[in-house]
Amino acid sequence: MGHRALVAYERPDGRYDRHYAHWGATSFALRHRIAPETPFADDVGDRWTPAVEPVPEATELSIEDAVTFDYRQFEAFYVVSLAWVVAAYLPLWFGSTADGDGDIDTDVGALVAIRDDRDAAHVRRWFRATRAVVRDVVRRGAVDEREATDYLDARVAEWAGDYREVISTV
C-alpha cells in the first residue's frame, strides 16, 4: 500500500501546488530530504529518482483547498514554504464515528504538526483513544455525527494548545 503523503509547495503568488509521494510518510523523512538542491527529495546516484512526484496532482490551490483530501488515504502531509522550510503534519480523520456504511466525509479532519516519528506515534495513540471514546458515545445515541465531529475538532485544538499547529478542515 505504501506510506502515502501529500506535499504542498508554496508558490510566489501565495497559492500551493500539491504533489503525491508514495513512500513519503515513512518516518516523516521527507521533512529532511526536501531542499532547494533536492526539491522532490531526489535520490542522486546512477539515475535520478524523485521521492515526490514532480508533476503536481493539483495546482494553484488555496491552503484550504490544499488540505482538503481523503484523510483515510494519507499518513503524512508536508507544507514547503518559499524559503524551503518543510513542516510535517499528521492527518487525523474525524469522519464517521458511527457504525454503518452511510455517507462518510473523507475530507473532515485536522492536520497536526509533528516533530518526528516518535512524536507522530504519540499523537496517533492519543487521537485513536479519544476517537474511540467519541465513537462509543455516538453509538449510544448521546450525540450525533455532527456533534462528534465538532467535539473532535475542539478537542484536538485544545490538546495541541500553543505547542503545535493544527490545521482543521471542519
| pLDDT tens digit sequence for 117-167 | 999 999 999 999 999 999 999 999 999 989 999 999 999 999 999 899 999
The total number of structural domains that make up the chain: 1
**Domain residues for 158?**
5-168
User: Cα–chain-centroid distance for residue 41?
Assistant: 18
* Residues 51-77 pLDDT 10s: 999 999 999 999 999 999 999 999 999
User: Cα–chain-centroid distance for residue 29?
Assistant: 15
Does pTM top 0.85 for this prediction?
Answer: yes
Question: To the nearest 5 percent, what fractions of the chain are helix, strand and coil?
Answer: 30, 25, 45
* Residues 79-113 pLDDT 10s: 999 999 999 999 999 987 655 555 568 889 999 99
Strand extents, DSSP E, the chain: 5-10, 16-21, 58-61, 76-80, 86-93, 109-113, 166-168
- What is the reported pLDDT for 138? 92
